[in-house]
Protein backbone atom coordinates (compact mmCIF):
# COMPACT_ATOMS: atom_id res chain seq x y z
CA UNK A 1 0.00 0.00 0.00
CA UNK A 2 1.32 3.44 -0.77
CA UNK A 3 2.02 6.25 1.59
CA UNK A 4 -1.38 7.84 1.43
CA UNK A 5 -1.09 9.62 4.74
CA UNK A 6 1.97 11.42 3.46
CA UNK A 7 3.53 11.18 6.91
CA UNK A 8 5.50 8.08 6.19
CA UNK A 9 5.27 6.81 9.74
CA UNK A 10 2.98 3.86 9.33
CA UNK A 11 4.11 2.65 5.94
CA UNK A 12 3.49 -0.91 5.07
CA UNK A 13 6.72 -2.84 4.62
CA UNK A 14 7.66 -5.83 2.57
CA UNK A 15 6.81 -9.10 4.30
CA UNK A 16 10.38 -10.36 4.09
CA UNK A 17 13.73 -9.67 2.50
CA UNK A 18 13.06 -12.31 -0.11
CA UNK A 19 9.69 -10.72 -0.75
CA UNK A 20 11.37 -7.40 -1.41
CA UNK A 21 13.96 -8.83 -3.77
CA UNK A 22 11.35 -10.77 -5.67
CA UNK A 23 9.08 -7.76 -5.90
CA UNK A 24 11.91 -5.52 -7.11
CA UNK A 25 12.92 -8.26 -9.52
CA UNK A 26 9.26 -8.57 -10.42
CA UNK A 27 9.21 -4.94 -11.47
CA UNK A 28 12.51 -5.29 -13.28
CA UNK A 29 11.78 -8.57 -15.03
CA UNK A 30 9.07 -8.13 -17.58
CA UNK A 31 8.52 -7.49 -21.22
CA UNK A 32 11.79 -5.58 -21.20
CA UNK A 33 13.70 -8.84 -20.82
CA UNK A 34 11.74 -11.17 -23.03
CA UNK A 35 10.33 -8.79 -25.63
CA UNK A 36 12.50 -5.68 -25.78
CA UNK A 37 16.00 -7.02 -25.07
CA UNK A 38 16.01 -9.69 -27.82
CA UNK A 39 14.64 -7.39 -30.49
CA UNK A 40 17.21 -4.72 -29.68
CA UNK A 41 19.97 -7.34 -29.82
CA UNK A 42 18.59 -8.36 -33.21
CA UNK A 43 18.45 -4.80 -34.51
CA UNK A 44 21.85 -3.78 -33.14
CA UNK A 45 24.11 -6.46 -34.54
CA UNK A 46 23.90 -9.23 -31.95
CA UNK A 47 26.70 -10.01 -29.49
CA UNK A 48 28.26 -6.57 -29.63
CA UNK A 49 25.06 -5.11 -28.23
CA UNK A 50 24.99 -7.74 -25.48
CA UNK A 51 28.53 -6.80 -24.51
CA UNK A 52 27.83 -3.08 -24.38
CA UNK A 53 24.64 -3.79 -22.47
CA UNK A 54 26.48 -5.79 -19.81
CA UNK A 55 29.14 -3.12 -19.36
CA UNK A 56 26.57 -0.40 -19.01
CA UNK A 57 24.47 -2.42 -16.59
CA UNK A 58 27.40 -3.01 -14.24
CA UNK A 59 28.98 0.43 -14.43
CA UNK A 60 25.88 2.61 -14.70
CA UNK A 61 22.70 0.61 -14.02
CA UNK A 62 23.81 -0.95 -10.75
CA UNK A 63 25.08 2.30 -9.19
CA UNK A 64 21.89 4.12 -10.17
CA UNK A 65 19.79 1.37 -8.63
CA UNK A 66 21.72 1.62 -5.35
CA UNK A 67 21.17 5.36 -5.39
CA UNK A 68 17.43 5.05 -5.99
CA UNK A 69 16.96 2.51 -3.20
CA UNK A 70 18.95 4.72 -0.83
CA UNK A 71 16.86 7.82 -1.59
CA UNK A 72 13.64 5.84 -1.26
CA UNK A 73 14.44 4.27 2.07
CA UNK A 74 15.72 7.51 3.52
CA UNK A 75 12.72 9.54 2.40
CA UNK A 76 10.01 6.90 2.92
CA UNK A 77 7.92 8.67 0.31
CA UNK A 78 6.74 8.38 -3.27
CA UNK A 79 9.02 10.05 -5.86
CA UNK A 80 7.38 13.48 -6.03
CA UNK A 81 7.21 13.85 -2.24
CA UNK A 82 10.58 12.20 -1.54
CA UNK A 83 12.77 15.15 -2.37
CA UNK A 84 10.66 17.47 -0.25
CA UNK A 85 11.04 15.07 2.66
CA UNK A 86 14.81 15.11 2.30
CA UNK A 87 14.86 18.90 2.67
CA UNK A 88 16.81 19.53 -0.49
CA UNK A 89 16.30 22.12 -3.21
CA UNK A 90 12.86 21.78 -4.83
CA UNK A 91 14.66 21.49 -8.16
CA UNK A 92 15.31 17.80 -7.45
CA UNK A 93 11.61 17.20 -7.31
CA UNK A 94 11.93 17.30 -11.11
CA UNK A 95 13.22 13.73 -10.92
CA UNK A 96 9.94 12.68 -9.37
CA UNK A 97 7.86 14.60 -11.91
CA UNK A 98 9.82 13.35 -14.87
CA UNK A 99 9.58 9.77 -13.63
CA UNK A 100 5.87 10.02 -12.99
CA UNK A 101 5.19 11.36 -16.46
CA UNK A 102 7.50 8.94 -18.25
CA UNK A 103 6.73 5.81 -16.25
CA UNK A 104 3.26 6.27 -14.87
CA UNK A 105 1.88 7.50 -18.17
CA UNK A 106 4.07 7.08 -21.25
CA UNK A 107 5.78 3.73 -20.67
CA UNK A 108 2.72 2.20 -19.07
CA UNK A 109 0.49 3.25 -21.97
CA UNK A 110 2.30 1.15 -24.54
CA UNK A 111 3.38 -1.51 -22.05
CA UNK A 112 -0.31 -2.33 -21.72
CA UNK A 113 -0.56 -2.81 -25.48
CA UNK A 114 2.24 -5.38 -25.55
CA UNK A 115 0.88 -6.91 -22.34
CA UNK A 116 -2.38 -7.41 -24.25
CA UNK A 117 -0.47 -9.31 -26.94
CA UNK A 118 0.70 -11.84 -24.33
CA UNK A 119 -2.93 -12.59 -23.43
CA UNK A 120 -3.93 -13.04 -27.04
CA UNK A 121 -0.96 -15.33 -27.62
CA UNK A 122 -1.76 -17.29 -24.50
CA UNK A 123 -5.28 -18.00 -25.76
CA UNK A 124 -4.17 -18.59 -29.34
CA UNK A 125 -1.62 -21.16 -28.17
CA UNK A 126 -4.54 -23.48 -27.56
CA UNK A 127 -6.26 -22.23 -30.73
CA UNK A 128 -4.74 -21.95 -34.17
CA UNK A 129 -1.31 -20.50 -33.35
CA UNK A 130 0.59 -23.80 -33.36
CA UNK A 131 -0.74 -24.97 -36.73
CA UNK A 132 0.06 -21.62 -38.31
CA UNK A 133 3.53 -21.54 -36.74
CA UNK A 134 4.23 -25.13 -37.81
CA UNK A 135 3.85 -24.06 -41.44
CA UNK A 136 6.34 -21.21 -40.92
CA UNK A 137 3.63 -18.55 -40.91
CA UNK A 138 4.13 -17.06 -37.43
CA UNK A 139 5.26 -13.78 -38.95
CA UNK A 140 2.09 -13.49 -40.97
CA UNK A 141 0.08 -14.41 -37.90
CA UNK A 142 1.69 -11.60 -35.93
CA UNK A 143 1.22 -9.06 -38.74
CA UNK A 144 -2.41 -10.01 -39.10
CA UNK A 145 -3.03 -9.74 -35.37
CA UNK A 146 -1.56 -6.28 -34.84
CA UNK A 147 -3.48 -5.09 -37.89
CA UNK A 148 -6.79 -5.87 -36.19
CA UNK A 149 -7.39 -2.76 -34.15
CA UNK A 150 -10.42 -3.91 -32.22
CA UNK A 151 -8.77 -7.13 -31.17
CA UNK A 152 -5.62 -5.39 -30.00
CA UNK A 153 -7.61 -2.77 -28.11
CA UNK A 154 -9.72 -5.43 -26.47
CA UNK A 155 -6.71 -7.32 -25.16
CA UNK A 156 -5.15 -4.06 -24.07
CA UNK A 157 -8.25 -3.42 -21.95
CA UNK A 158 -8.01 -6.88 -20.38
CA UNK A 159 -4.35 -6.37 -19.54
CA UNK A 160 -4.94 -2.88 -18.13
CA UNK A 161 -7.85 -4.22 -16.07
CA UNK A 162 -5.62 -6.91 -14.57
CA UNK A 163 -2.98 -4.33 -13.69
CA UNK A 164 -5.59 -2.12 -12.03
CA UNK A 165 -6.91 -5.03 -9.96
CA UNK A 166 -3.44 -5.88 -8.68
CA UNK A 167 -2.72 -2.28 -7.79
CA UNK A 168 -6.00 -2.08 -5.91
CA UNK A 169 -5.10 -5.06 -3.78
CA UNK A 170 -1.90 -3.40 -2.56
CA UNK A 171 1.77 -4.22 -2.21
CA UNK A 172 1.86 -7.16 0.19
CA UNK A 173 -1.12 -9.17 -0.92
CA UNK A 174 -1.05 -8.47 -4.63
CA UNK A 175 2.44 -7.81 -5.85
CA UNK A 176 4.52 -9.84 -3.45
CA UNK A 177 2.45 -13.00 -3.60
CA UNK A 178 2.14 -13.04 -7.38
CA UNK A 179 5.88 -12.58 -7.86
CA UNK A 180 6.82 -15.41 -5.55
CA UNK A 181 5.03 -17.97 -7.68
CA UNK A 182 5.31 -16.66 -11.19
CA UNK A 183 8.96 -15.68 -11.40
CA UNK A 184 10.41 -19.16 -10.71
CA UNK A 185 7.85 -20.66 -13.08
CA UNK A 186 8.88 -18.31 -15.88
CA UNK A 187 12.49 -19.21 -15.28
CA UNK A 188 11.82 -22.95 -15.57
CA UNK A 189 9.92 -22.70 -18.81
CA UNK A 190 12.64 -20.53 -20.29
CA UNK A 191 15.15 -23.29 -19.55
CA UNK A 192 13.00 -25.83 -21.39
CA UNK A 193 12.72 -23.43 -24.34
CA UNK A 194 16.46 -22.92 -24.45
CA UNK A 195 17.12 -26.64 -24.59
CA UNK A 196 14.70 -26.98 -27.51
CA UNK A 197 16.07 -23.95 -29.29
CA UNK A 198 19.71 -25.03 -28.93
CA UNK A 199 19.03 -28.53 -30.25
CA UNK A 200 17.35 -27.42 -33.47
CA UNK A 201 19.41 -28.11 -36.60
CA UNK A 202 21.16 -24.91 -37.68
CA UNK A 203 21.13 -23.36 -34.20
CA UNK A 204 24.90 -22.66 -34.26
CA UNK A 205 24.54 -19.57 -36.44
CA UNK A 206 22.25 -18.07 -33.83
CA UNK A 207 24.66 -18.84 -31.00
CA UNK A 208 27.40 -17.16 -32.96
CA UNK A 209 25.25 -14.11 -33.65
CA UNK A 210 24.41 -13.88 -29.97
CA UNK A 211 27.84 -14.58 -28.49
CA UNK A 212 30.51 -13.57 -30.99
CA UNK A 213 30.83 -9.80 -31.10
CA UNK A 214 31.31 -8.21 -34.49
CA UNK A 215 32.80 -4.84 -33.65
CA UNK A 216 32.05 -3.47 -37.09
CA UNK A 217 28.37 -3.48 -36.10
CA UNK A 218 29.05 -0.96 -33.35
CA UNK A 219 27.36 2.38 -34.03
CA UNK A 220 26.61 5.49 -32.04
CA UNK A 221 23.08 4.38 -31.45
CA UNK A 222 24.20 0.97 -30.10
CA UNK A 223 25.35 2.68 -26.91
CA UNK A 224 22.23 4.76 -26.52
CA UNK A 225 19.95 1.80 -27.14
CA UNK A 226 21.91 -0.31 -24.64
CA UNK A 227 21.81 2.48 -22.07
CA UNK A 228 18.07 2.99 -22.49
CA UNK A 229 17.47 -0.76 -22.35
CA UNK A 230 19.53 -1.12 -19.20
CA UNK A 231 17.47 1.57 -17.43
CA UNK A 232 14.22 0.22 -18.81
CA UNK A 233 14.99 -3.33 -17.84
CA UNK A 234 16.14 -2.45 -14.33
CA UNK A 235 13.14 -0.08 -13.95
CA UNK A 236 15.44 2.89 -13.33
CA UNK A 237 15.16 6.62 -13.84
CA UNK A 238 11.44 6.64 -13.15
CA UNK A 239 11.40 6.62 -9.38
CA UNK A 240 10.09 3.03 -9.32
CA UNK A 241 12.98 1.58 -7.37
CA UNK A 242 12.88 4.69 -5.23
CA UNK A 243 9.26 3.86 -4.36
CA UNK A 244 10.04 0.19 -3.72
CA UNK A 245 13.01 1.19 -1.53
CA UNK A 246 10.66 3.31 0.53
CA UNK A 247 8.88 0.17 1.73
CA UNK A 248 12.16 -1.44 2.80
CA UNK A 249 12.87 -1.99 6.49
CA UNK A 250 15.72 -0.04 8.13
CA UNK A 251 17.77 -3.13 8.92
CA UNK A 252 17.76 -4.60 5.40
CA UNK A 253 20.98 -4.52 3.40
CA UNK A 254 20.42 -2.43 0.30
CA UNK A 255 23.60 -3.45 -1.56
CA UNK A 256 23.01 -7.17 -1.59
CA UNK A 257 19.34 -6.69 -2.49
CA UNK A 258 20.48 -4.53 -5.41
CA UNK A 259 22.97 -7.05 -6.70
CA UNK A 260 20.37 -9.81 -6.50
CA UNK A 261 17.74 -7.79 -8.32
CA UNK A 262 20.05 -6.67 -11.10
CA UNK A 263 21.55 -10.15 -11.53
CA UNK A 264 18.18 -11.86 -11.77
CA UNK A 265 17.02 -9.31 -14.29
CA UNK A 266 20.12 -9.68 -16.43
CA UNK A 267 19.97 -13.46 -16.21
CA UNK A 268 16.41 -13.57 -17.54
CA UNK A 269 17.29 -11.20 -20.40
CA UNK A 270 20.29 -13.31 -21.38
CA UNK A 271 18.28 -16.52 -21.16
CA UNK A 272 15.58 -15.05 -23.41
CA UNK A 273 18.25 -14.44 -26.01
CA UNK A 274 19.34 -18.07 -25.78
CA UNK A 275 15.77 -19.17 -26.29
CA UNK A 276 15.28 -16.89 -29.29
CA UNK A 277 18.43 -16.53 -31.42
CA UNK A 278 19.40 -20.16 -32.04
CA UNK A 279 15.81 -20.88 -33.05
CA UNK A 280 15.56 -17.74 -35.12
CA UNK A 281 18.52 -18.71 -37.28
CA UNK A 282 17.50 -22.35 -37.38
CA UNK A 283 14.18 -21.33 -38.87
CA UNK A 284 15.46 -18.67 -41.18
CA UNK A 285 13.87 -15.60 -39.54
CA UNK A 286 15.53 -12.22 -39.78
CA UNK A 287 17.14 -10.76 -36.61
CA UNK A 288 15.97 -7.23 -37.37
CA UNK A 289 12.24 -7.98 -37.08
CA UNK A 290 11.71 -5.17 -34.60
CA UNK A 291 8.92 -5.32 -32.05
CA UNK A 292 7.56 -8.63 -33.34
CA UNK A 293 10.70 -10.74 -32.86
CA UNK A 294 9.71 -12.65 -29.71
CA UNK A 295 6.14 -13.12 -30.84
CA UNK A 296 7.25 -14.46 -34.20
CA UNK A 297 10.15 -16.70 -33.19
CA UNK A 298 8.92 -18.37 -30.01
CA UNK A 299 5.65 -19.79 -31.39
CA UNK A 300 7.74 -21.37 -34.14
CA UNK A 301 9.91 -23.06 -31.49
CA UNK A 302 6.89 -24.27 -29.55
CA UNK A 303 5.41 -25.70 -32.72
CA UNK A 304 8.46 -27.93 -32.97
CA UNK A 305 8.03 -29.36 -29.48
CA UNK A 306 5.88 -32.25 -28.33
CA UNK A 307 2.84 -30.83 -26.53
CA UNK A 308 4.02 -27.46 -27.80
CA UNK A 309 0.64 -25.83 -27.42
CA UNK A 310 0.66 -26.38 -23.66
CA UNK A 311 4.20 -25.09 -23.28
CA UNK A 312 3.25 -22.12 -25.38
CA UNK A 313 0.18 -21.47 -23.27
CA UNK A 314 2.17 -21.64 -20.05
CA UNK A 315 4.95 -19.49 -21.41
CA UNK A 316 2.63 -16.66 -22.42
CA UNK A 317 0.77 -17.03 -19.14
CA UNK A 318 4.00 -16.53 -17.20
CA UNK A 319 5.08 -13.74 -19.49
CA UNK A 320 1.74 -12.13 -18.81
CA UNK A 321 2.43 -12.34 -15.08
CA UNK A 322 5.97 -11.03 -15.50
CA UNK A 323 4.48 -8.13 -17.46
CA UNK A 324 1.77 -7.48 -14.88
CA UNK A 325 4.25 -7.35 -12.01
CA UNK A 326 6.08 -4.65 -13.97
CA UNK A 327 3.01 -2.75 -15.11
CA UNK A 328 1.62 -2.61 -11.60
CA UNK A 329 4.80 -0.97 -10.40
CA UNK A 330 4.27 1.66 -13.09
CA UNK A 331 0.59 2.02 -12.28
CA UNK A 332 1.44 2.46 -8.60
CA UNK A 333 3.36 5.62 -9.55
CA UNK A 334 0.42 7.11 -11.47
CA UNK A 335 -1.98 6.14 -8.69
CA UNK A 336 0.05 7.59 -5.84
CA UNK A 337 0.44 10.74 -7.90
CA UNK A 338 -3.34 11.12 -8.31
CA UNK A 339 -3.97 10.35 -4.65
CA UNK A 340 -1.48 12.94 -3.46
CA UNK A 341 -2.28 15.63 -6.01
CA UNK A 342 -6.03 15.44 -6.28
CA UNK A 343 -6.81 13.93 -2.92
CA UNK A 344 -8.60 11.01 -4.51
CA UNK A 345 -9.50 7.70 -2.92
CA UNK A 346 -7.26 4.89 -4.15
CA UNK A 347 -9.99 3.21 -6.14
CA UNK A 348 -10.97 6.45 -7.89
CA UNK A 349 -7.36 7.26 -8.60
CA UNK A 350 -6.81 3.84 -10.17
CA UNK A 351 -9.90 4.22 -12.38
CA UNK A 352 -9.10 7.76 -13.50
CA UNK A 353 -5.48 7.00 -14.30
CA UNK A 354 -6.47 3.72 -15.93
CA UNK A 355 -8.70 5.55 -18.40
CA UNK A 356 -6.12 8.21 -19.27
CA UNK A 357 -3.41 5.61 -19.75
CA UNK A 358 -5.70 3.45 -21.84
CA UNK A 359 -6.48 6.32 -24.21
CA UNK A 360 -2.82 7.10 -24.67
CA UNK A 361 -2.00 3.42 -25.21
CA UNK A 362 -4.88 3.03 -27.62
CA UNK A 363 -3.17 5.54 -29.85
CA UNK A 364 -0.05 3.34 -29.90
CA UNK A 365 -2.10 0.28 -30.71
CA UNK A 366 -3.91 1.98 -33.57
CA UNK A 367 -0.72 3.46 -34.91
CA UNK A 368 0.88 0.00 -35.16
CA UNK A 369 -2.06 -1.14 -37.24
CA UNK A 370 -1.36 1.51 -39.88
CA UNK A 371 -1.45 5.19 -39.08
CA UNK A 372 -1.12 7.79 -37.59
CA UNK A 373 2.67 8.04 -37.56
CA UNK A 374 4.94 10.39 -35.62
CA UNK A 375 8.13 11.53 -37.35
CA UNK A 376 7.88 8.51 -39.63
CA UNK A 377 7.68 6.14 -36.66
CA UNK A 378 4.76 4.26 -35.21
CA UNK A 379 3.46 6.14 -32.21
CA UNK A 380 4.52 3.19 -30.03
CA UNK A 381 8.09 3.34 -31.31
CA UNK A 382 8.17 7.11 -30.93
CA UNK A 383 6.99 6.97 -27.31
CA UNK A 384 9.38 4.13 -26.59
CA UNK A 385 12.25 6.14 -28.06
CA UNK A 386 11.33 9.26 -26.13
CA UNK A 387 11.07 7.40 -22.83
CA UNK A 388 14.00 5.03 -23.05
CA UNK A 389 16.47 7.09 -25.00
CA UNK A 390 15.66 10.48 -23.52
CA UNK A 391 13.59 10.56 -20.34
CA UNK A 392 15.12 7.58 -18.52
CA UNK A 393 18.71 8.67 -19.19
CA UNK A 394 17.87 12.22 -18.09
CA UNK A 395 16.16 10.93 -14.91
CA UNK A 396 19.07 8.63 -14.09
CA UNK A 397 21.60 11.37 -14.80
CA UNK A 398 19.83 13.64 -12.32
CA UNK A 399 19.73 10.85 -9.71
CA UNK A 400 23.51 10.43 -10.05
CA UNK A 401 24.24 14.14 -9.81
CA UNK A 402 21.90 14.54 -6.86
CA UNK A 403 23.29 11.64 -4.88
CA UNK A 404 26.91 12.06 -5.95
CA UNK A 405 27.22 15.79 -5.38
CA UNK A 406 24.43 16.93 -3.09
CA UNK A 407 23.48 14.01 -0.92
CA UNK A 408 26.51 11.74 -0.65
CA UNK A 409 26.91 11.48 3.11
CA UNK A 410 23.30 10.60 3.85
CA UNK A 411 23.43 8.12 0.96
CA UNK A 412 26.51 6.43 2.43
CA UNK A 413 24.80 6.22 5.79
CA UNK A 414 21.81 4.65 4.15
CA UNK A 415 23.89 2.10 2.27
CA UNK A 416 25.84 1.08 5.36
CA UNK A 417 22.76 1.08 7.62
CA UNK A 418 24.12 4.01 9.58
CA UNK A 419 27.62 2.64 9.76
CA UNK A 420 26.52 -0.76 11.02
CA UNK A 421 27.73 -2.49 7.86
CA UNK A 422 31.39 -2.50 7.07
CA UNK A 423 32.58 -0.05 4.43
CA UNK A 424 33.93 -2.26 1.71
CA UNK A 425 35.95 -1.50 -1.43
CA UNK A 426 32.90 -1.50 -3.63
CA UNK A 427 31.49 1.46 -1.77
CA UNK A 428 34.42 3.54 -3.02
CA UNK A 429 33.85 2.25 -6.52
CA UNK A 430 30.19 3.15 -6.20
CA UNK A 431 31.07 6.69 -5.14
CA UNK A 432 33.34 7.02 -8.16
CA UNK A 433 30.64 5.71 -10.47
CA UNK A 434 27.83 7.80 -9.14
CA UNK A 435 29.82 11.04 -8.92
CA UNK A 436 31.89 10.90 -12.06
CA UNK A 437 31.72 7.89 -14.28
CA UNK A 438 27.98 7.38 -14.63
CA UNK A 439 26.95 11.03 -15.16
CA UNK A 440 29.70 11.63 -17.73
CA UNK A 441 28.98 8.38 -19.53
CA UNK A 442 25.23 9.01 -19.60
CA UNK A 443 25.73 12.54 -20.88
CA UNK A 444 28.18 11.46 -23.54
CA UNK A 445 26.14 8.48 -24.73
CA UNK A 446 23.02 10.60 -24.80
CA UNK A 447 24.54 13.49 -26.75
CA UNK A 448 26.36 11.13 -29.07
CA UNK A 449 23.45 8.77 -29.65
CA UNK A 450 20.95 11.50 -30.40
CA UNK A 451 23.36 13.22 -32.77
CA UNK A 452 23.49 16.33 -30.56
CA UNK A 453 27.21 15.95 -30.03
CA UNK A 454 27.82 16.16 -33.76
CA UNK A 455 25.61 19.23 -34.05
CA UNK A 456 27.45 20.81 -31.16
CA UNK A 457 30.77 19.96 -32.72
CA UNK A 458 29.91 21.50 -36.10
CA UNK A 459 28.54 24.55 -34.37
CA UNK A 460 31.72 25.00 -32.31
CA UNK A 461 33.91 24.61 -35.38
CA UNK A 462 32.11 27.36 -37.26
N1 LIG B 1 11.59 -3.24 -16.13
C2 LIG B 1 10.34 -3.56 -16.75
C3 LIG B 1 10.59 -4.59 -17.83
O4 LIG B 1 11.70 -4.99 -18.05
C5 LIG B 1 9.63 -2.39 -17.33
C6 LIG B 1 9.58 -1.24 -16.44
C7 LIG B 1 10.27 -0.12 -16.78
C8 LIG B 1 8.91 -1.32 -15.25
C9 LIG B 1 10.30 0.95 -15.94
C10 LIG B 1 8.93 -0.28 -14.39
C11 LIG B 1 9.63 0.85 -14.74
O12 LIG B 1 9.71 -5.03 -18.47
Q: How far apart are CA 224 and CA 347, in angstroms?
A: 38
Q: Pick from 120, 163, 166, 125: which is nearest to 144 by CA?
A: 120
Q: How far apart are CA 77 and CA 85, in angstroms?
A: 7
User: Which range, 51-65, 95-109, 334-348, is most confident?
Assistant: 51-65
Probe target for ligand 1 pocket from 102, 108, 232, with the most ligand atoms within 8 Å of CB: 232
User: Average pLDDT for residues 32-50, to the nearest whole number?
Assistant: 95
Helix (H) or strand (E) holding 191: helix 177-198
For residue 427, pLDDT over 80 is answered with: yes
Local confidence band at 118 (pLDDT 50, 70, 90 cut-offs): very high
More confident residue, 450 or 218: 218
* pLDDT score for 11: 57
Local confidence band at 3 (pLDDT 50, 70, 90 cut-offs): very low
User: Average pLDDT for residues 321-334, to the nearest whole number?
Assistant: 87
* pLDDT score for 63: 96
CA 179 to ligand 1 center in whole angstroms:
14
CA 421 to ligand 1 center in whole angstroms:
30
Local confidence band at 274 (pLDDT 50, 70, 90 cut-offs): very high
Residues with CB under 6 A from ligand 1: 27-28, 30-33, 103, 107, 232-233, 235, 238, 240, 326, 329-330
* pLDDT score for 7: 39
Probe target for ligand 1 pocket from 233, 271, 322, 396, with the most ligand atoms within 8 Å of CB: 233
Q: What is the pLDDT of residues 250-271, one digit of tens each?
A: 888 889 889 999 999 999 999 9
The CATH number of 17-461 is which of 1.10.3720.10, 1.10.4160.10, 3.40.50.300, 3.40.50.10310?
Answer: 1.10.4160.10
Q: What is the pLDDT of residues 379-398, one digit of tens each?
A: 888 899 899 989 999 999 99
CA 165 to ligand 1 center in whole angstroms:
18
Probe target for ligand 1 pocket from 24, 27, 37, with the most ligand atoms within 8 Å of CB: 27
Q: How far apart are CA 390 and CA 144, in angstroms?
A: 31
Q: What percent of the chain has pLDDT over 90?
A: 46
CA 27 to ligand 1 center in whole angstroms:
6
**3-class secondary structure per residue, 255-269:** HHHHHHHHHHHHHHH
DSSP letter at 378? Answer: E
Q: What is the pLDDT of residues 129-149, one digit of tens each?
A: 999 998 988 899 999 998 888
Using CA of residue 261, residue 246, residue 322, residue 394, what is the dihedral sign? negative
CA 234 to ligand 1 center in whole angstroms:
6
Evaluate whether 29 touches 264 at the Cβ level (below 8 Å).
yes
Probe target for ligand 1 pocket from 326, 327, 328, 331, with the most ligand atoms within 8 Å of CB: 326
CA 87 to ligand 1 center in whole angstroms:
29
User: Average pLDDT for residues 336-364, to the nearest whole number?
Assistant: 90
* pLDDT score for 2: 39
Q: How far apart are CA 68 and CA 83, in angstroms?
A: 12
Mean residue pLDDT of the chain comes to 87
Amino acid sequence: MSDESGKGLTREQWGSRLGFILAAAGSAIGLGNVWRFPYLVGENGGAVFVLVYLFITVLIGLPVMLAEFAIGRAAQRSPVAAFRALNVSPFWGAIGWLGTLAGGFFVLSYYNVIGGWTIRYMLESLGGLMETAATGQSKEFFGHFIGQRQQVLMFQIVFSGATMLFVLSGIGKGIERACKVMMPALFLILVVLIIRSLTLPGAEAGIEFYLKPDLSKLTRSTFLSALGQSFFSLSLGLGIMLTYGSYLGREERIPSATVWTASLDTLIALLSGFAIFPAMFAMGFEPGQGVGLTFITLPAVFAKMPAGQYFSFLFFLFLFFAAVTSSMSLMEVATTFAIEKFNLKRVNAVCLMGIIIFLLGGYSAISLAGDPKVAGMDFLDALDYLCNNVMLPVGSFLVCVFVGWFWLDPALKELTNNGKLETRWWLHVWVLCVRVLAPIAILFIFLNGTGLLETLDTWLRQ
